[in-house]
Every structure is written in C-alpha cells, then in structure tokens.
Structure 1
Amino acid sequence: MSTAILFDLDGTLVDTPAGMTTVLRAVVTEHGRTATDDQLRRTVGRPLTASLATLLGLPVDDPEVGRAADRARRLFTELVIPSAARLVLPGVPELLAALRDRGHPLAVVTSKVRPSAIELLAATGLLDAFDSLSCHGMAERGKPHADLALLAADALGVSPARCIVVGDAVDDVRMANAAGMTPFGVTTGVASRAELLLAGARAVFTGADTLGPALLLSDSDPRPARPQPEVI
C-alpha cells in the first residue's frame, strides 16, 4: 500500500489561525481578560478548551471555560466559516487530488472536535478528499501524544512506519515522532521553521508547492536510516 499522509487542519490545509485569533480575542475580552496577539496565536491548533483555560487562567474543567469554548465555536461559525473557501492554502486542493490519484490514503488529524472539523472541511470543499478524520475526543489523549495519529493509521489500515504527518505546529511534529511516523513541517501556520526543526521535523516546507514533490515521491520507506533535517 502507498504511504499514508496524515494532515493537520488549521494552518496546514486552511489559513484559519488569523480568524481563530480574532475569535479567541473576542471571547477573552468578553470574559474580562486580556491577551497579546502572540499569546492568542500560540494557542491556535490546541484543543479549544485547553487554549481557553490557558488564556483565562482557569482549570480546563471550570464551567466558565466550557461556556467560553461554546461561545468561541459559535463565533467561528459566524465569522470564519462563511469565508472558509477563500482560506484554503494555495495548492492544497491540487495536492490532495494528486495524492489521491497516486493511491495515497489520506486523513486529517486535528485538535478540533469532530463536528467543528467536518463543518470547516465541508465549507472549504475539502471534506471528500479524506478517507478518515481523527479529532479531539476520539482518543484518550490528544496532541502531542501519539493516540490520534495511531487512530488514523488504524482507520486507514496502514502501519505507523508507512505514515507521514504534515503539520504547522510543534505538537504535530511531536505527535508524529511519538507514533513512530515521519514528521514533515510547513511554515504556513503558527510555528517557525526553527521551532519545527527543533521539535524533530524531518523536513520543513514553505507550502504545498514544495511539499507536494516530497509527498508524491514518498512510496519508498519515508523514514531514512539516519534522518537529517531539511529545509525546503
């Protein structure tokens, strides 16, 4: 079987971090707190309740955090979903189509809950490109633990050693390494090239145009015997 490709969603397939930052800022302000742009952006890509617990300075199981998360999801639907089709990162639809044509199993592995992931993927027109979705709450532990990536590999019927994880965040890279998969970073989201490499990314790409050739040539063992970080 061809190598399976597991994609993160926010910041990897769709340019939602700016919209999510706007949503988080509004919710934090409504709850009488303040946060810098950097503090807000650094939480994008984590589970929403964990992000808001950090920003509000509350335990993750505090009822206020739950209410804030519900409010954030409503605002995301109101403010970001209507323009989601315009937020798909350049070259992503073409890359997904090419990978499917080559027989690569494809999955999304995201810290979004499943209804939110489906809502965003449907709005962007990308939902049908994927064979499986692994979302927050579907496994015991989320990123950076291996659980969601292993859930995706099992759903696709592919061994972890035959999986590549593509993500824009340090937690994506750490999850891939914990699962025994090959981590590829992209600089289209929240983490810098240096941060992705330091976390253990095998290679870092600037977007779909440079990522595509590496993925389309990945049917040999994607894990080199002595990996050396690459920046492309």
Structure 2
Amino acid sequence: MSADDRAVLFDVDGTLVDTPGGMLGVLRAVLEESGHAVADDLVRRTIGRPLAASFAGLLFLPEDHPDVAHAVTRARALFTETVIPSAADLVFPGIPELLAELRAQGRPLAVVTSKVRPSAVELLGAAGLLDAFDTLSCHGMADRGKPHADLALLAAGALGVPPRRCVVVGDAVDDVRMASAAGMDACGVDFGVATRAELVAAGASRVVGSVAELHDAVAPRRLHTSDR
C-alpha cells in the first residue's frame, strides 16, 4: 500500500453521525427518570463510551449494579425511539461521498465503536451507511474496549491489514488513545465531542474541523495523467 492506501477505521457517534446531541437528551432523560440531576457538561463527557461505563460514572455505582443495567436498557430503548428514526438526517454532510470515494479507491474500511453490535448495526443501517464497511468491531467483541488497543486490532485482523497501515478516525480522546495503543495513526475530528486541543494532547497526528478536511486527510485526490 502507498501512503494514501491505508485502511481507515471509523468511530461512529460524533464522527460519522451527529448523534451526541440526541444521546445527551437520552442520557439526561434516563438520569432524570431515576431521580438524578447531573450537569450537561458532565453527561456530554461520557458520550462515546460504553453505556454501562457512562452510567456507572454518572451514578457513582459499579458497572454490574442493577441500577446501571436498568439505565442501560432504558437508554437503548429511548435511543431507538427518539434518535434512530432521524438517523439518516444526522449523517454529517459529505460522509456518504467520502465513504464512496474510499470504496472506489479499494480502501479497506471498518467501524470501531463502543456501541454493542446490535446497536451499531441498527444505527448504521438506519443512517444508510452499513454497507460501506467491510467489518464492524464493537464493544464486547474483544476483551477490552476503548482506549485499549483490542477493538482496533480486531478490526485490522478482520481486514487483513497490519496495524501500521491503518488510520483511526474519531472524535473522542479514547479513539486517539486506542489508535496509539494499537500502533496506528490517528486523525481526530473536532466536530464531535472532544476539542482540538484535547485530541492533539491525546496524540492525534492531525485534527480536522470539517468533513471536507477529513476527505483531504484520508482520501486525497489521485493524480491522473491529464492532471500532470
């Protein structure tokens, strides 16, 4: 592979689909139903993590506590009811075209997400993006989730691409840390959850502020004879 033929491993929420706002509403509603008032900025910081980890931190309970399990079940139901119906409208403009260009280039593509597989399939299917990917690497499919390397390495193995020939695209600090742990490059996007400064501090080699910039970073236009 040449420098622009690397496999691309995408996060989902805040990277492909603008779901953080909807997820914030879901988390807030579940917390309110359980009698807990938590500041929005604290809730937002948990978006992109596995739901059990998010609720455990917000409720100050262990992940295996029954109240956490109930909150996770309720959140998934609310997400299906309130966010999934509008998933196609939440896809960041330019993402379908970017994925199509990468496919046309023959690039191996994967999703690496903290969602469990049924939830990832549900969202990507509703968003019209599911068929763009060769493999999905989801929470629970490896021993450890983000920011550990396991899910990224699982995706690389499924694609048949060595880690050094992969780039992770994500909006969260844990995406960047996962990439670093796996020996992969990381391209951060600052239109999701984390700020540019946070992504750079985590180790992103590049941070982009739009899908157009992301296109230039991971799918540069190839020169043809007529272009020279």
Corresponding residue number in structure 2 for 1:119: 122
Contact 1:167–1:186 (Cα < 8 Å) also in 2: yes
CA distance in 1 between partners of 2:13 and 2:217 (Å): 21
> Which residue of 153, 158, 166 corresponds with 2:156?
153
Within the alignment, does 1:68 sit opposite 2:71 as a pair?
Answer: yes
Within the alignment, does 1:198 sit opposite 2:201 as a pair?
Answer: yes
> Which residue of 139, 142, 156 corresponds with 1:139?
142
CA distance in 2 between partners of 1:155 and 1:98 (Å): 21
CA distance in 2 between partners of 1:18 and 1:160 (Å): 32
Contact 1:3–1:218 (Cα < 8 Å) also in 2: no
Corresponding residue number in structure 2 for 1:83: 86
> Which residue of 171, 174, 199 corresponds with 1:168?
171
Within the alignment, does 1:100 sit opposite 2:103 as a pair?
Answer: yes
> Which residue of 172, 177, 188 corresponds with 2:180?
177
CA distance in 1 between partners of 2:141 and 2:210 (Å): 28
Alignment RMSD: 1.2
Corresponding residue number in structure 2 for 1:18: 21
Contact 1:113–1:136 (Cα < 8 Å) also in 2: yes
For residues 85-130 of structure 1, the C-alpha deviation after alignment (integer angstroms, 9 at most, x for no partner) is: 0000011000000000001100000000000000000000000000
| Cα distance, 1:65–1:207 mapped onto 2, change above 3 Å | same
CA distance in 1 between partners of 2:75 and 2:217 (Å): 36
Give the counterpart letter for 2:77 in structure 1. R
**TM-score, L = length of structure 1:** 0.93
Contact 1:4–1:158 (Cα < 8 Å) also in 2: yes
Shift of 1:218: 10
> Which residue of 201, 208, 211 corresponds with 1:208?
211
Give the counterpart letter for 1:132 in structure 2. T
CA distance in 2 between partners of 1:198 and 1:15 (Å): 23
Identical aligned residues as a percent? 68
CA distance in 1 between partners of 2:184 and 2:198 (Å): 18
Shift of 1:207: 1.9
Give the counterpart letter for 1:110 in structure 2. T
Runs of 4+ in 1 over 4 A off after TM superposition: none
* Local SS of the residue matching 1:74: helix
- Structure 1 unpaired stretches of 5+: 220-232
CA distance in 2 between partners of 1:46 and 1:133 (Å): 16
Corresponding residue number in structure 2 for 1:228: none
**TM-score, L = length of structure 2:** 0.94
Within the alignment, does 1:46 sit opposite 2:70 as a pair?
Answer: no
> How many residues of Structure 1 are paired with residues of Structure 2 in the alignment?
219
